[in-house]
Amino acid sequence: MINGTSNAASGFLVSAGFSFAYTKDFDQALKDGVKGAGYGLALGSALGVVQGFQYARGYDVNPWTGKRNDFFKGTWYSDRVLGNMFNTSDAFHSFPENVKAFQMDGVVTPLKGKDGVIVPILKIPGSYRGKEGYFEFIKERDGMINHRFFRPNSK
């Protein structure tokens, strides 16, 4: 709504201003300003909807309900992640799978990858092997989890 309103105001001012500058007719300038406001309102509102959907996608939120999505629905682990999970000598990759049950205690934020693609990262606060930190999961757009790691807090 804010985008629509500000674009309507801009549309009015620009259209009315140019119209008056060229025609010197105040009544015509007002008519052109109202027309410009209508175009600005429509364009700004559409832009606001698009931005809302982009925000929802980046933060893994349902755009219709405003509630967080199930981060793990329809996901699977990459072969690399699976290998790390079963490597018991790699403590920070092989944490228990039941950590996923606490996903709603975590925070999902957008992360820009090296390839420039923005994907969601879930960080669940917790402790593991006597250390406080975050359990991290990065989900690709196709649902593949390509990062699963416990990151201890730095001292």
* CA 62 to each of CA 30, 58, 70, 106: distance values in angstroms, whole numbers, following the listed order: 41, 11, 10, 16
- Are β-strands 131-139 and 107-112 bridged in parallel, bridged antiparallel, or unpaired? unpaired
Q: Identify the CA nearest to 113 among candidates 144, 139, 83.
A: 139
Are 44 and 9 within one domain? yes
Q: Is residue 50 part of a domain?
A: yes
User: Which pLDDT belongs to residue 106?
Assistant: 93
Report the distance separating Cα 107 and Cα 154, nearest Å: 19
What is the pLDDT averaged over residues 24-49? 74
Give a yes or no: residue 118 inside a domain: yes
Residue 125's domain comprises 76-152
The arithmetic mean of pLDDT across residues 8-15, rounded, is 66
Question: Do residues 82 and 131 both lie within one domain?
Answer: yes
Q: How far apart are CA 15 and CA 155, in angstroms?
A: 58
Residue 84 included in any domain: yes
The verdict on 82 and 52 lying in the same domain is: no
140 and 93, same domain (yes or no): yes
What is the mean pLDDT of the segment spanning 105-113?
91
Regarding whether 86 and 51 lie in a shared domain, the answer is: no
pLDDT band at 1 (very low <50, low <70, confident <90, very high): low
pLDDT, tens digit, for every residue of 48-88? 777 777 767 666 777 777 777 889 999 999 999 999 999 98
Position 2 scores a pLDDT of 60
- Does residue 44 sit in the same domain as residue 104? no
